[in-house]
Amino acid sequence: MSEPVLTISGLNVDYGTGADAVYALRDIDLTLHRGEVLGLAGESGSGKSTLAYAVTRLLSPPGVITGGQVHYHQRDGRALDLLALSAAELRAFRWQELSIVFQGAMNSLNPVYTVHNQLTDVLQAHRPEMKKADRTARARELLSLVGISPDRLGAYPHQLSGGMRQRVMIAMALALEPEIVIMDEPTTALDVVMQRQILRQLVRLREELGFSVVFITHDISLLIEFSDRIAIMYGGRIVEQAGASEIYRDPRHPYSAGLLHSFPALHGPRRELSGIPGSPPHLSSMPSGCAFHPRCAKKVEGCDTHVPVLAAPDADGSRSVACWLHHEAPAPAARA
Amino acid sequence: MSEESENNHIVLEARGVTKHFAVRRNARDLVARTRRTVHAVDDASLELRRGTVTALVGESGSGKSTVARLLAQLYPLTSGEIHLNGQPVKAGRGRSFRSYVRRVQLIFQDPFASLNPVHTVRYHLTRSLKIHDRAGNGEAELEQNLTALLNRVQLTPPHQYLDKFPHELSGGQRQRVAIARALGADPQVLLADEPVSMLDVSIRLGVLNLLKDLKDRLHLAILYITHDIASARYFADTTLVMYAGRIVEGGDSETVTQRPAHPYTQLLIASAPHPDRSGAEEEPEENGTGEPPSLIDPPAGCRFHPRCPQAMERCRTELPPRFDLADGQWAACWLYDGTGTARTDDHQKEAAK
């Protein structure tokens, strides 16, 4: 595996403070390697978007980062502590090193500015020395990169279709050739045909430009196809982390298995599927112990009292799972 | 066997249903005296049979929700007919609409919006029962009916849910309440417009399995509208595929998903996420790019021709009729001219124009 580009360790995020605080993220340990596509799967309320916002320091109140570290590893080997950056450093860091495509990105364009205006704005802010003609040339280049004809540079967002607006957002995220692109449900608002076109393009661009992608979605079947590694979140914690094909062939956490069985297959035998009984927990009433235990068919003694630790189930250590089925019986030292 | 034949009985049928919406005219239209319309649905024919699920699959903007609303008589038709139990119906407002609604109920996509936040589950269900004269005599019977409804949608124990407000329920539970409310009318037909797409993935199948169970036990005819063709394969007996306001292919769900005939259905299936493809690096060949056309000025001929990799000269000018293929499958595509026999239905007249 290549060198890490982003390491998150022990990250905790609360919503609210004091007695009203609810835990949105607990003990998140995650590493993004250079050039890889890391999928982050989970249902609503699992904390996947909160994680993206916390890492980029975009979390708005009442969200508070209460602990943990996020380090960005530069090409020269130096590590940058993202949680300690000043406002000015943060401004320089964002978009230059790490960019983000938001959920419902097609509605994030400013309706009263042309695409040209919005694409060159990024360049103007980060590369003030660039000449106007160069900026325009770069904007044209970016548009053709994502498969839009450069003649559309003068168009306003309402003159573009949803898929094209989404591509413009992706072009904007790639404008400064960042090392990391975070995509928060980039294609959920789009139809499957457009979704595949955009994702295929993204995979191609990644091969050309060599950036890393964090891909956040609830659609695990899409992740299995497009990502190298997958982390599955439930109730604010990562419950399983493994290579995409490992998750697909051999999910270890009962929740991962349940999620995989929630998508009917288009090919192969028609099976009776069941989904997962119950519904995802609310942040304000998180179950004790393993957050999944009320819905879990395989729960054992201790699941309702002890939080399982995310650790490797076998000796090789390439994957990790937080489930008592794969670890020693609940130890009293389990992290609460 | 009698149940089998009873299950084939057509409850609700749309014949050549068309809906055009007028576009608000701007200054240029006023000067040019043009009246533009959105061709939301053109010449849609479908049959909903007792005890079967029919899926209508399409992208957003393909007109699939409009079909549901037309079948629910929420919009007047531009042309075409709707038949309920073999009788043509044209529900207006008031009494005739209500008696229609008693037999055809609609479930909406968003259970967060379709329940009134200031009323309890009890209120929603009581209203449905009372409006459709099924509340029974007296408190005790009403209570019994309410409990039966909640049991039927697997919200058990019912007394735990009756006095809850929508905000106290999860998305899946809300959708179950919406289904219970529809069942309060004791309908023959359930029109489900994307009933699970707003729900969390892990609970979607629970709701689909519930609808399947209702179909089997109450012999409902269900129209399942979705953009997810894999769930149509899982849940529906028959699948229809809609593109840009027209139904382009239909047939048994297994046949349509495993051996799609229309190039659009093939594109749709090739685009669906497919975990088995990972690693193997065999990308499907580019089979059609671009986007659905504007429905204000839809392309002449086959509406898919600008994106179709197999488009022929004829596709640009002539509207393909339905061609019957094997096993009850049909496709509106010129590729099958000659291999099947063209139907000369009345509603293909437009094709000649």
Segment B22-70, tens digit of pLDDT:
887 777 777 877 778 889 999 999 999 999 999 999 888 888 889 999 9
Q: What is the pLDDT of residues B147-157, one digit of tens each?
A: 999 999 988 88
Taking the CB of residue A330, how many other CB atoms lie within 10 A of it?
19
Q: Among partner residues B172, B230, B258, which is closest to A263 by beta-carbon distance? A: B230
Peptide bond into A251 cis (omega under 30): no
HSE, side-chain direction, 13 A CA sphere, residue A62:
10
Q: What's residue A335's pLDDT?
A: 43
Instruction: Tokens for B177, please give them.
Output: 């309440």
Beta strands of A74-155 (E only): which ranges?
A: 79-81, 98-101
A–B interface: beta-carbon pairs under 8 A: 111
Residue B108, in any domain of the structure: no
The residue of chain A nearest to residue B226, with distances taken between CA atoms, is: A191
- Across the interface, whether the CB atoms of B275 and A221 are under 8 A apart is answered yes
Distance CA B80, CA B119 (A): 39
Q: Among partner residues A163, A264, A267, which is closest to B291 by beta-carbon distance? A: A163
Residue B181, in any domain of the structure: no
Per the structure, the count of domains in chain B is 1
Low-confidence residues of chain A: pLDDT under 50: 331-336
Residue B261, in any domain of the structure: yes
The residue of chain B nearest to residue A248, with distances taken between CA atoms, is: B275
Residue B327 pLDDT greater than 90, yes or no:
no
Residue B2 pLDDT greater than 60, yes or no:
no
Do residues A65 and A55 touch, judged by C-beta distance below 8 A? no
Instruction: Tokens for A167, please give them.
Output: 């591509």
The residue of chain B nearest to residue A188, with distances taken between CA atoms, is: B197
Amino acid at B284: P
Are β-strands B53-57 and A4-15 bridged in parallel, bridged antiparallel, or unpaired? unpaired
A262 φ, ψ (degrees, to nearest 5):
-95, -10
Residues of A with CB under 8 A from a CB of B: 43-44, 161, 163, 191-197, 200, 218-222, 224-226, 244-245, 248, 258-259, 261-268, 270, 273-280, 295
Q: What's residue A315's pLDDT?
A: 67
Bigger pLDDT: B294 vs A182: A182
Q: What is the pLDDT of residues B118-127, one digit of tens each?
A: 999 999 999 9
Distance CA A120, CA A67 (A): 37
Chain B residues whose beta carbon lies within 8 Å of the beta carbon of residue A230: none
Residue B234, in any domain of the structure: yes
Structural domain containing residue B57: 2-90+223-273+287-352
Report CA Rg, chain A.
21
The residue of chain B nearest to residue A273, with distances taken between CA atoms, is: B205
Chain A residues whose beta carbon lies within 8 Å of the beta carbon of residue B258: 267
Residue B149, in any domain of the structure: no
Q: What's residue B341's pLDDT?
A: 45
Distance CA A232, CA A241 (A): 6
Chain-centre distance for alpha carbon B252: 15
Q: Among partner residues A161, A219, A244, which is closest to B291 by beta-carbon distance? A: A161
Residue B45, in any domain of the structure: yes
Q: What's residue B349's pLDDT?
A: 39
Q: What is the residue whose two structure tokens read 């329920």?
A: B169
Residue B346, in any domain of the structure: yes
Q: What's residue B352's pLDDT?
A: 42
Bigger pLDDT: B18 vs A59: B18
Buried b (16+ CB within 10 A) or exposed e, A50-70: bbbbbbbeebeeebbbeebeb
Closest CA to B230 of B193, B205, B203: B205
Bigger pLDDT: B81 vs A76: B81
Chain A residues whose beta carbon lies within 8 Å of the beta carbon of residue B257: 266
Domain at B34, CATH number: 3.40.50.300
Residue B281 pLDDT greater than 60, yes or no:
no
The residue of chain A nearest to residue B62, with distances taken between CA atoms, is: A191
The mean pLDDT value for B338-351 works out to 45
Distance CA B350, CA A25 (A): 59
Q: What's residue A288's pLDDT?
A: 86
CB-based burial label for B241 (10 Å; 0-12, 13-18, 19+): buried
Residue B232, in any domain of the structure: yes
Q: What's residue A328's pLDDT?
A: 67
